Structure 1
């Protein structure tokens, strides 16, 4: 068995770099990486409100976010997606990493980098009509129907129908 393994590695390292890289990528786990932002109403009294989006194709509500571009920093991607989907343009220093900052979904193949910010509810919203049907503020104690991934993500932060009972 050891001789077979040695022969396989020798053959592998004789291949051109481009082919070796392709073989490694074919055998490696692939991840989808996104960035999302939990946007709280800066002026709301307890229990507070968050900004949610109703997006196609489903009827549930979600937080602003999307996939990162190749080589894009997660915080920059979160700021870009927030601007694209809601019209709220914030410099990246207005976003802060949530705790936990990374949430792994669906069998470990999808990772969201999560950020938080506060914005006054009277900030003008200009949702991208191609991506967003509606953007609205919702009280934390009376959230609308959330998408499954959003409900699971928000539960990590003690928000929504799936949050732990002791929160």
Structure 2
């Protein structure tokens, strides 16, 4: 990627994330007028009970590697692509397995997260672009940093995070 394109991409993400939430949703709805379908990767370090989290602009909390599906892409392909783009961890779709539940429907926001899990050995190098992702890091499950509300609610479905003991936080 040229230096100009990298700077333009960073500026675009910063500008988008500074917009109010309802404007960001409206922009997405312009291209996805009904339910938006995305894919999420829950990546664990099997030896140390850690999970991979990202801090994205505006940096208000930590989240999971995730993104919207491209046209013609399957959910597992999307999860693998987003994981690679946002963290530098390249896994083939065959290395991701469907989480249980695999689909988390957010009826208020009109989106569906297709959730996949993977385990990665602790030596995996994390590479972020400083535009879409500010920081990627491993965090112990018993000592998680402040999470975004949507990440906390999604992780509750898998018995992880601050909302894990609140059934009302789980998505249906």
If the length of structure 1 is used for normalisation, what is the TM-score?
A: 0.77
How far the C-alpha of 1:152 sits from its partner, in A, is: 0.3
Residue of structure 2 in register with 1:40 after alignment: 44
Q: Give, in whole Å, the separation in 2 of the partners of 1:104 and 1:58.
A: 24
Residue of structure 2 in register with 1:144 after alignment: 145
Residue of structure 1 in register with 2:94 after alignment: 93
The count of corresponding residues between Structure 1 and Structure 2 is 135
Query: Contact between 2:96 and 2:116, CA under 8 Å: does it hold in 1?
Result: yes
Alignment gaps of 5+ in structure 1:
1-28
Q: What SS class does the counterpart of residue 107 from structure 1 fall into?
A: coil
Q: CA RMSD in A?
A: 1.5
Residue of structure 2 in register with 1:17 after alignment: none
Query: Contact between 2:59 and 2:134, CA under 8 Å: does it hold in 1?
Result: no
Alignment gaps of 5+ in structure 2:
1-32, 168-172
How far the C-alpha of 1:107 sits from its partner, in A, is: 1.4
Residue of structure 2 in register with 1:31 after alignment: 35
* Rg larger in structure: 1
